[in-house]
């Protein structure tokens, strides 16, 4: 009787430990998703630089502000920056979901 109760308690502890290991495995995103998000962000910045006509290796903020036509700033650029930032956000989120899903799938776990 005592042995059955003890083995039952050990089994419950083993079950709790297994649940904790499964739940903590995929709490964080895959490392590749961070790399992909960084690359997507760099591509987004490159598109903005091209749109503004900034030369990447010759630009500094003081000369950019002194040389740039201020009439292009303001309300004209808000839609462009909004759309560009939303595209970067969506692509980075999708990359994060893809790489995390792939990692969970390889380990035989569910992503959620």
Contact between residue 58 and residue 49 where contact means Cβ atoms under 8 Å apart: no
Strands (E), 8-71: none
Which residues lie below 8 Å from residue 107, measured CB to CB, with a gap of 6+?
25, 26
Q: Reply yes or no on whether the pLDDT at 11 is more than 70.
A: yes
pLDDT tens digit string along 34-44?
Answer: 899 999 999 99
pLDDT tens digit string along 29-86?
Answer: 678 888 999 999 999 988 888 887 776 666 566 666 565 555 555 566 778 888 999 9
Distance between CA atoms of 111 and 103, rounded to whole angstroms? 9
**Smallest Cα–Cα separation from 76: which of 51, 42, 103, 104?**
51
**What's residue 101's pLDDT?**
84
């Amino acid at each position: 009787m005592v042995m059955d109760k003890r083995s039952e308690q050990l089994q419950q502890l083993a079950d709790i430990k297994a649940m904790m290991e499964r739940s903590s495995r995929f709490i964080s995103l895959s490392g590749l998703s961070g790399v992909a998000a960084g690359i997507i962000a760099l591509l987004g910045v490159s598109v903005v630089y091209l749109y503004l006509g900034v030369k990447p290796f010759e630009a500094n903020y003081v000369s950019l502000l002194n040389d740039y036509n201020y009439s292009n700033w303001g309300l004209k650029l808000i839609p462009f920056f909004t759309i560009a930032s939303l595209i970067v956000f969506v692509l980075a989120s999708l990359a994060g979901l893809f790489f995390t899903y792939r990692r969970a799938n390889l380990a035989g776990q569910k992503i959620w």
